[in-house]
Amino acid sequence: MMLRLLTAGESHGQAVTGILEGMPAGVPISKAIIDHHLARRQKGYGRGGRMKIEKDQIQVLSGLRGGLTLGSPISFMIPNKDYENWKEGMDPFQGDLNYKKVSHPRPGHADLPGALKYSFSDMRHVLERSSARETTARVAAGSIASQLLSVFGIEVASHVRRIGQAAIEQKQVEFHELKASEDSPVRSVCKDAERRMIQCIDEAREDGDTLGGVIEIQVKGLPVGLGSYTHWDRKLDGKLAGALMSIQGIKAVEVGDGFEGVKEPGSCVHDEIFYNETNGFNRKTNHAGGIEGGMTNGEILIIRCGMKPIPTLMKPLKTVDFHSKDVHNAAVERSDTCAVPAAAVVAEAVVGLTLTDAFLETFGADSMEEMKRRWK
């Protein structure tokens, strides 16, 4: 692994922090671009009250000078404004350990297995770290990494294909169409689907319920040969799937035709190869989603992931008290009705990080000048 990200921080702690190791020297980085992506993560129809409190902006502590990477680890933080409301319980040394204790584990959440694993009697310890608030660090790091990719004309974009029972009917969405998702509160490229998605979210909110959905990420401009077929742990599709599955709430990943492709014979799912002097080797279809044998093949990367409904319900499911084992309603924390649009921005970030790691492995990791020479 060339690129390594370490994140830290609790949901209601002082800040979410990160250390990004492995960025080469001489990469131009814009704070405004990072903050723009952090703001995109906070948007989306169905978000909860927390997003009205926070205004996420990065503070870089090391690894940059004059807007250029130094080749040393980049450390950064995103302060939590809500910490002031939680200081009584979250102060690292003076925090009251009885403050808003949680003993009613939520089905579908890390509460119960986390408490059993680490021998906690208070699940507050678990939910503070397992919270999706952690993804602010990954969006920030992903933005830094993607700014390297953009120097070489590589673009990462996303849109939402489904929320609950509402989905776009369009089977294939072209890369240039994804820009329309930026103007949609649910990141949909289709106005009719957007309307139905919003209706589903409204109905779920009224019922005290939550919704999941399907996100599609596309990457344009990738060269042939990122990843490898030589070892199982160097296959790029495997790395991408692992990165996406590490996002809170993601339960499924597919590349290209994915699960739909298994229904068809091979003659319908493999992309025939052509050649001409202008484009070199090329394909007229992209069922493979831009990856063959664990490597990029020069086509647009298409990868999707499925997010489950958020486990915190305003009409909570049944659970048991961790101590007495009596039947109880699950704990209720301030939460979203639907976080799929926000998760799409997080998915872009982790895909950008994974591809940058593969890019550095192929084109060098010391300096931008070295990478440009190898790219040529």
**pLDDT digit string (tens) for 94-142?**
999 999 999 999 999 999 999 999 999 999 999 999 999 999 999 999 9
pLDDT band at 2 (very low <50, low <70, confident <90, very high): confident
Q: What is the pLDDT of residue 333?
A: 83
Please work out, in degrees rounded to the nearest 5, the angle formed at the alpha carbon of residue 44 by the alpha carbons of 40 and 46. 150
Average pLDDT over residues 314-323: 94
Lowest mean pLDDT among 28-42, 51-65, 181-195, 266-280: 51-65
Average pLDDT over residues 36-46: 94
List all residues 6 or more positions away from 339 whose beta carbon is below 8 Å from its beta carbon.
Answer: 44, 46, 47, 132, 249, 307, 310
pLDDT at residue 199 above 80? yes
Q: Is 6 helix (H, G, I), strand (E, B) or coil?
A: strand
- DSSP label of 307: E
The strand order across the sheet containing 74-79 reads 4-8, 15-21, 74-79, 59-62
> How are the residues of the chain apportioned to helix, strand and coil, as percentages rounded to the nearest 5?
35, 20, 40
pLDDT band at 54 (very low <50, low <70, confident <90, very high): confident
Fold for the domain defined by 4-375: Chorismate synthase, AroC fold (3.60.150)
Q: What is the pLDDT of residue 233?
A: 95
pLDDT > 70: what percent of the chain? 98
Tokens standing for residue 184: 């949609």
pLDDT at residue 49 above 70? no
Tell me the DSSP string of 7-51. Answer: EE--TTSSEEEEEEE-PPEEEE--HHHHHHHHHHHH--TT--THH
List all residues 6 or more positions away from 37 whose beta carbon is below 8 Å from its beta carbon.
Answer: 139, 140, 142, 143, 345, 348, 349
Q: What is the pLDDT of residue 50?
A: 59
| Residue-averaged pLDDT of the chain | 95
Tokens standing for residue 162: 């489904």
| pTM for this prediction | 0.95
Tokens standing for residue 100: 């808003």
Distance in angstroms (rounded) separating the CA atoms of residues 33 and 181: 18
Residue 155 CA to chain centroid, in angstroms?
A: 16
pLDDT band at 194 (very low <50, low <70, confident <90, very high): very high
Rg of the chain in Å (alpha carbons): 22
Dump pLDDT digits (tens) for 150-185.
999 999 999 999 999 999 998 899 999 999 999 999
Please work out, in degrees rounded to the nearest 5, the angle formed at the alpha carbon of residue 324 by the alpha carbons of 323 and 329. 90
